[in-house]
């Protein structure tokens, strides 16, 4: 994802109003301990860290993009449990060992690469949680043809090859977008789906629903939550 000021603002609003990331956090929390050290690879602006900080001792957030990283750094100023690391996985983490690792939608270079998975395992004592798409994520526009193998299936193939113990749950949830009006809905969908403003406006008219003083663009999705158990 290429972060811009508008995309960051939209993402943060979606994190407040949609089912993401809470739908995954409630599945991860039961595995955490107060004394745990956690690593979030590709943390973005820290949707997971803000919710999980009270459940663990420390959270390291690795994020290469300046905009979301600066947002998370402001949060870290008031929460000593959160530490932000600038850089790409795994160059900036020599010697770091954690109890639990999380990586959500961080792409094949992290989650569907044999060497990357081995490095994550080497750094993690107890559990690894990976979240990957398992279906279209295009606000119902019909632009994506989710044919196998899907991203999470590549990850599963490597995990089987490495003889690692894991469990996959397919989770259905809404990761929709609140907007002020049809003008903002059009601008958002045009940028998010990379379609013309005319098509974006037509699609917004089909799916937008009233939400308080604004509108909400539902985005039904399915993603795989893969839990790797480290013996």
Q: At 42, which CATH number?
A: 3.40.50.150
* Cβ atoms of residues 129 and 150 within 8 Å: no
**In the chain, how long is the greatest CA-to-CA distance?**
53
Nearest to 141 by CA among 180, 209, 199: 199
**Residue 194, in any domain of the structure:** no
Asked whether residue 19 is domain-assigned, the answer is yes
Flag whether 107 is in a domain: yes
pLDDT score for 223: 96
Which residues does 64 contact at the CB level (< 8 Å), separation at least 6?
A: 42, 86, 87, 88
The pLDDT tens digits for 148-187 are 788 899 999 999 999 999 999 999 999 999 999 999 999 9
Q: Report whether the peptide linkage leading into residue 30 is cis, meaning its omega lies within 30 degrees of zero.
A: no
Q: Which residues make Cβ contacts (< 8 Å) with residue 166, sequence separation at least 6? A: 156, 159, 226, 227, 228, 229
More confident residue, 211 or 2: 211
Average confidence (pLDDT) over 189-206: 96
pLDDT at 146 over 90: no
Assigned domain for 129 exists: yes
Domain count, the chain: 1
pLDDT in tens, 27-55: 999 999 999 999 999 999 999 999 999 99
Q: Determine, yes or no, domain membership for 189.
A: no
- Indicate the angle between helix axes 151-161 and 114-123, nearest 10 degrees: 70
Tell me the helix, strand and coil percentages in the chain, rounded to 5. Answer: 40, 25, 35
Interval 81-139: pLDDT, tens = 999 999 999 888 888 999 999 999 999 899 999 999 999 999 999 999 999 999 999 99
Which residues span the domain enclosing 46? 5-177+220-229
Q: Return the pLDDT at 85.
A: 95
Strand ordering across the sheet containing 124-133: 82-86, 58-63, 37-41, 98-104, 124-133, 220-229, 165-174
pLDDT on residue 36: 98
- Report pLDDT for 145: 80
The whole-number pLDDT of residue 147 equals: 75
Q: Is the pTM of this model over 0.85?
A: yes
| 1, pLDDT greater than 70 | no
Does 215 fall in a domain? Answer: no
Residue 40 domain flag: yes
> Is 211 within a domain?
no
pLDDT for res 91: 82
């Amino acid at each position: 994802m290429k972060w811009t000021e508008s995309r960051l603002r939209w993402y943060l609003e979606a994190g407040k109003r949609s089912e993401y990331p809470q739908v995954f956090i409630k599945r991860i929390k039961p595995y955490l301990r107060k004394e745990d050290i956690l690593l979030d690879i590709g943390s973005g602006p820290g949707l997971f860290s803000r919710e999980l900080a009270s459940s663990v001792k420390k959270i390291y957030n690795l994020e290469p993009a300046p905009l979301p990283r600066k947002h998370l750094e402001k949060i870290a100023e008031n929460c000593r449990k959160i530490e932000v690391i600038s850089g790409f996985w795994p160059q900036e983490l020599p010697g770091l060992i954690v109890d639990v690792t999380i990586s959500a939608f961080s792409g094949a270079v992290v989650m569907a690469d044999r060497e990357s998975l081995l490095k994550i395992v080497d750094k993690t004592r107890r559990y690894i949680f990976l979240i990957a798409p398992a279906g279209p994520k295009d606000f119902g526009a019909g632009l994506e043809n989710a044919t196998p193998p899907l991203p999470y299936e590549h990850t599963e193939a490597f995990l089987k090859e490495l003889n690692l113990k894991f469990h996959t749950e397919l989770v259905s949830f809404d990761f929709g977008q609140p907007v002020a009006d049809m003008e903002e809905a059009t601008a958002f969908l045009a940028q998010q789906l990379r379609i013309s403003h005319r098509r974006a406006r037509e699609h917004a008219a089909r799916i937008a629903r009233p939400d308080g003083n604004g509108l909400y663009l539902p985005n039904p999705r399915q993603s795989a939550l893969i839990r790797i158990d480290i013996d």
